């Protein structure tokens, strides 16, 4: 009988072939690929400058991480970088099939667990029930609260958003082939257009995914052409990320309300969308349909997974009245082993090692 199989951390390959070590997670079914090692240095004095640098000089890294054969068109990624903010435990650049997002709630929920488990934050007191992880996203500093036992994560994570606000309500947009449609536009770290799927002749809970994607994409392109997005803090944040089709149930109810988010290049979010929930809570609060600290549940029509959200306090963003939103959800490791989970940030290697098949720097 053959002896036990010994698996090296790196499979046999050309030593000159660069490799990227990653950890894969998912939150509510939406994937997150976190780069641990192998990415060239991302240069810039600020996080937004680093985002511009990666777009201009390292976009091949994004493409190799996100697309076939190592990923797929709905893969999502995170590159950890130093932050210039003194209160931040880590900075992050978000990757998708089109480029670089300003915020990603499902990724923040996963990164909260990851940062605690990999020793990227100070160890919480032994009797602590939660650990604080301050994550500098391109939209600003986001505080994640991770349920824990000692230095290990457990259960759900919640985060407090950057100020979320409504940019426009009841905006009439002419959607080619679909007529005039009334949409709302709100910001939850990224800008989204919101419209009830019923206004497009669809049921968000039962329609074919291809039909939902086509309708949402048509709305996104129409809004981009007919409405100028602006953000009071930075032009780097002033773009429409996608469209969220809803079941139209915006008035408070204890039952979940269902939506589907189509963003970037027709990418479908399997989760209820953390930044989308943030923006939708801000929209419902703005319309007087929701009170402070009134929790709502949001369900993904793609997977049935649920996030909860509530507006915890009022805020300002430039001249806009805004709210800080708390979003909660459950993240899971999908490719990890116990030894790497116990490692420190200076020596950790992921189970997945992606052979790039080409030069990375």
The encoded tokens of residue 207 equal 């329609």
Torsion angle, CA of 169/224/58/189, rounded to 10 degrees? 0
Q: Residue-wise over 255-278: b if at least 16 C-beta within 10 A, else e?
A: ebbbbbbbbbebbbbbbbbbbbbb
H helical segments located in 3-136: 47-57, 59-66, 105-117
| Radius of gyration, CA atoms only, the chain | 20
Decide if 234 contacts 192 (C-beta within 8 A).
no
Is 104 designated active site? yes
* Greatest CA separation for the chain: 74
In whole angstroms, give the CA distance from residue 167 to residue 185.
5
Which of the residues 39, 104, 137, 148 is marked catalytic?
A: 104
Contact between 205 and 301 under an 8 Å Cβ cutoff? The reply is: yes
Q: Which of 145, 146, 138 is nearest to 275 (CA)?
A: 138
Contact residues for 47 (Cβ-Cβ < 8 A; gap 6+): 81, 83, 84, 91, 93, 136, 137, 138
DSSP letters of 247-276?
-S--S--SSPEEEEEEETTTEEPSS--HHH
Provide φ and ψ at 110, rounded to 5°: -75, -45
Q: How many CB atoms lie within 10 A of CB 115?
A: 24
Tokens coding 19: 């490799």
Q: Which of 78, 65, 81, 83 is nearest to 110 (CA)?
A: 78
Which residues are catalytic, by number?
Answer: 104
């Amino acid at each position: 009988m053959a002896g036990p199989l010994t698996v090296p951390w790196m499979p046999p390959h050309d030593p000159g072939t660069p490799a990227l070590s990653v950890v894969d997670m998912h939150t509510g079914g939406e994937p997150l690929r976190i780069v641990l090692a192998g990415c060239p240095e991302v240069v810039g004095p600020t996080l937004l400058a680093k985002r511009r640098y990666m777009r201009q000089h390292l976009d091949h890294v994004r493409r190799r991480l996100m697309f076939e054969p190592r990923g797929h068109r709905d893969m999502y990624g995170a590159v950890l970088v130093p932050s210039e903010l003194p209160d931040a435990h880590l900075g992050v650049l978000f990757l998708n099939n089109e480029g670089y997002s300003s915020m990603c709630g499902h990724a923040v929920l996963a990164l909260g667990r990851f940062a605690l488990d990999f020793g990227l934050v100070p160890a919480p007191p032994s009797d602590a029930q939660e650990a604080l992880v301050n994550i500098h996203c391109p939209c600003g500093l986001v505080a994640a609260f991770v349920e824990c036992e000692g230095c290990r994560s457990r259960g759900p994570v919640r985060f407090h958003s950057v100020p979320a606000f409504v940019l426009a309500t009841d905006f009439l947009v002419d959607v080619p082939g679909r007529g005039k449609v009334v949409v709302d536009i709100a910001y939850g770290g990224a800008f989204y257009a919101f419209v009830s799927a019923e206004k497009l002749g669809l049921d968000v809970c039962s329609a074919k995914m291809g039909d939902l994607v086509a309708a949402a994409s048509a709305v996104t392109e129409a809004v981009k052409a007919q409405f100028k997005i602006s953000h009071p803090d930075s032009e780097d944040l002033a773009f429409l990320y996608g469209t969220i089709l809803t079941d139209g149930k915006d008035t408070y109810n204890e039952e979940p309300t269902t939506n589907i988010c189509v963003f970037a290049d027709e990418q479908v979010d399997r989760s209820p969308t953390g930044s989308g929930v943030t923006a939708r809570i801000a929209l419902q609060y703005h319309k007087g349909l929701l009170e402070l600290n009134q929790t709502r549940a949001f369900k993904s029509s793609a997977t049935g997974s649920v996030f909860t959200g509530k507006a915890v306090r009022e805020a300002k963003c430039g001249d806009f009245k805004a709210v800080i939103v708390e979003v909660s959800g459950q993240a899971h490791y999908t490719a990890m082993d116990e030894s790497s989970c116990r490692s420190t940030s200076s020596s950790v290697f992921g189970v997945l090692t992606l052979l790039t098949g080409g030069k990375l720097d």
